[in-house]
Amino acid sequence: MPVDLQALYPKLIHLMLDTVFVVDRDNQIAFVSDACQTLLGYRAEELVGTPITDYMHPDDLAATRASIIRVMNGHSHVDFRNRYIRKDGSIVHILWAAFWSEDVGARIGVARDVTALWQAEEELRFLAHHDPLTKLINRSVFNDRLGTALRTAQRHNSTLALLFLDINDFKGINDGHGHAAGDRVLCAIARRLEHCVRETDTVARMGGDEFTILLTDVQSPDVVHEAVARIVAVMAEPLGEGFDGIRMPSCSVGVACYPQDGEDADTLLSHADDDMYRVKRQRSAAG
């Protein structure tokens, strides 16, 4: 007995894990498969007869309308992404494949939830630019920002400062309390350093227990001295509850200023590093 495909097709559409939409010329939803309830939280009967644009994220409306025009002009769009707002107010990221059917007089699209993929992509992008432990920017991004800041300073004949920080006796925390405790202390240090600078400044973890801070548009040497004093003072504050009696370590801060201490990134970093070790030696000599 031959299979009645015409009767089977509607059932197959509703079995699909992706959602099928049929949208007319006026952007009214004419049909949507049962998977829409998982995708958007609405039952099919709630969506049919309503404008599909009502559910789009407002920030994506312009790009989506451009895609709609493209599809209605006869160009299939099989890799378009946008965001929709679900019935519960949450946001879903959708990957679309769509084409215009002259026979039906409607736009037919298949929507796939790619929110998990988007989150994974965002995490990878974040990790490419940030230290995974402290969430500060990493060495590569810091070097890029330093290069950009130097070019800006050269054009505008302005001054910037580079601070190089090393945490004193940090090895003792790892040895005495374990590396997990040391990681928590590094994260606490990162947050304190972020609160010590302006929004226009940059804090980075260079690796291990070494951090750098870029101060841009420095109006006077006092700004640098105040920043260093603020960092030293903040680092002297106790860690507080949850650190099992670990003492907050002090830090040694080296400083390099453009242009007097160097006119390129390598020279400034080397000068700040040398100055940091000078401060560390002075601390050791003082007892």
Residues annotated catalytic, as ranges? 209
**Helix, strand, or coil (residue 287):** coil
Determine how many CB atoms are found less than 10 A away from the CB of residue 215.
Answer: 22
* Distance in angstroms (rounded) separating the CA atoms of residues 135 and 210: 14
The distance from CA 273 to its chain's CA centroid, rounded to whole angstroms, is 29
> In DSSP terms, which residues pair with 213 in a beta bridge?
163, 203
* Distance in angstroms (rounded) separating the CA atoms of residues 14 and 10: 6
* Distance in angstroms (rounded) separating the CA atoms of residues 285 and 131: 33
Which residue is associated with the tokens 């959708």? 94
CB 142 within 8 A of CB 202: yes
